Amino acid sequence: MFIFLALFFFGAIDCYGKTDTLVVSNGDKIIGEIKEMQRGVLIIETDYSDSDFKIEWDKVKEFYSENIFLIYLSSRNHYIATMRTNRNDKTKIIISNEEVHISVALISIVDITPIDDTFWDRFSASLDMGFSLTKANNLNQFTMNGNFGYLAESWNARASFNVVRSSQDSVAETKRTDASLGGRYLMIKSWFATMSVDLLQNDEQKLQLRTTPKLGIGNYFIQSNSINFSFTAGVALNKEEFTDPEQEDRKSSEGFVGLEFDMFYMGDLNLFTNITAYPSFTEEDRLRVDFTINIKFDFLDDFYFKIGYTHNFDNQPVEGAYEVDYVFQTTFGWDL
């Protein structure tokens, strides 16, 4: 009985204490717990450092683990499996589960997430703010942006907001707020279903609130360690309430077509851009276009500096409003 309990106890310790082992390009061996590998950077937690190690994926030469991961490949396939270096060819990784046993090039792996991690390990967030003050007319502007995400085995969710407040002497305060909440459900290969709700309040376009729920499908043209490039299309419902109380609310059915490009392996620079067009089904010849581009420079671990530009176009705005509105922002922020 004692022997059985001892074997059970030490076996439990061994299972609980499973670790991941890396060998990097300079020959160093790192033993710890893989937190994730995204955007070409692997994060591993060790017992001998207060800070997690961040290692560029192309610097990893060998990988050994008995843990289970959600693994995405550049071929757009994904697996829930174990992974370890092929001892006969150390440029390749063996991905294995009850149904699959394949050997793939290490560089073809674009995303790794432990599937038994906690909520907070799957949660990501960033927050940045900026402020400018000009003596002339006492002009000042405050901006704040936030982004939040959650990654599960077959779906992901994300939310964001962007706030701009401008004021100056003898001029009414100008306000602009946009927000988005949505998610993607992964289907076969590179296809996914997408559902989201976009919100916009914009004094320049006399919008008290624009609400746009969307439903569609998309495809990753490119999904690699340095680039994600995707296409989405679907249907949307556009509801608009205006700041002028005498202006009637508008509702319209729309289609949408969007392109999203994310380049994140340029040293400390990250580039993200998105453009979405909304042709109306119910308002003749109406077209709206939203465009965003952000350039982010990482420094001091989790801190960053960001330059962003947002452009909104509507060829049939409400009476007295402008067709075009744009915002240029420079902000300082922090990544969780």
Helix, strand, coil percentages in the chain from 3-state DSSP, rounded to 5 = 10, 65, 25
Whole-number pLDDT of residue 1: 43
Judge whether residue 70 has pLDDT over 50: yes
pTM above 0.85, yes or no: no
Place of tokens 């499973």: 18
Judge whether residue 171 has pLDDT over 60: yes
Whole-number pLDDT of residue 267: 66
Q: Is 103 helix (H, G, I), strand (E, B) or coil?
A: strand
Distance CA 335, CA 136 (A): 34
Residues of the chain with CATH 2.40.128.130: 121-335
Distance CA 255, CA 130 (A): 34
Residue 122 phi, psi dihedral angles, 5° rounding: -95, -10
Question: Beta partners for 250?
Answer: 240
Whether the Cβ atoms of residue 313 and residue 289 lie closer than 8 Å to each other:
yes
Tokens of 213: 């729920």
Judge whether residue 283 has pLDDT over 50: yes
Tokens of 320: 């007295």
Residues 265-269 have a mean pLDDT of 71
Judge whether residue 196 has pLDDT over 90: yes
Residues 110-138 have a mean pLDDT of 79
Q: Is 50 helix (H, G, I), strand (E, B) or coil?
A: coil
Residues 6+ apart with CB under 8 A from 296: 269, 270, 271, 272, 304, 305, 306
Whether the Cβ atoms of residue 247 and residue 259 lie closer than 8 Å to each other:
no
Distance CA 110, CA 73 (A): 5
Residues 231-241 have a mean pLDDT of 97
CATH 3.20.20.140 fits 121-335, yes or no: no
Distance CA 113, CA 187 (A): 18
